Amino acid sequence: MTRATTSTVTVKEHRFEVPNGGDMKDLGMAYTWAQNKAKELGLDISYDDWATISSDEDGFAFVITERIKS
């Protein structure tokens, strides 16, 4: 008897971007938006793995990854 199963996982990235040249107000706003989204998704923001930071030539972003199993 097989125990193999299949599943589909949809990955959604929520990005809160700060462009190059942004000031501390921009940084604070993006961070607050990211925290609020994490709380909305039920993530515990007291640990350091609730978001990642992505950067490129245009600036950087706080990224929250939502995995939706269907």
What's the mean pLDDT when you consider all of the chain?
A: 93
- Count other C-beta atoms under 10 Å from residue 18's C-beta: 21
Q: How confident is the model at residue 54 (pLDDT cuts 50, 70, 90)?
A: very high
Residue 62: inside a domain: no
* Percentage, residues of the chain above pLDDT 70: 100
Give pLDDT, residue 15. Answer: 96
Is residue 50 in a domain?
yes
User: What's the domain count of the chain?
Assistant: 1
In a domain, 46, yes or no: yes
Domain containing 14 equals 9-56
Q: How far is CA 41 from CA 11, 23, 52, 58, 66, in A?
A: 13, 27, 15, 27, 8
- Predicted pLDDT of residue 57: 93
Do the domain assignments include residue 68? no
By C-alpha distance, which of 12, 16, 23 is closest to 63?
Answer: 16
Answer yes or no: is 33 within a domain: yes
Q: What is the pLDDT of residue 63?
A: 97
Do residues 64 and 50 make contact, with C-beta atoms less than 8 angstroms apart?
yes
Please state the pTM of the whole predicted model: 0.81
| 23 vs 66: CA distance, rounded Å | 28
Residue 44 falls within a domain, yes or no? yes
On the question of pLDDT at 2 being above 90, the answer is: no
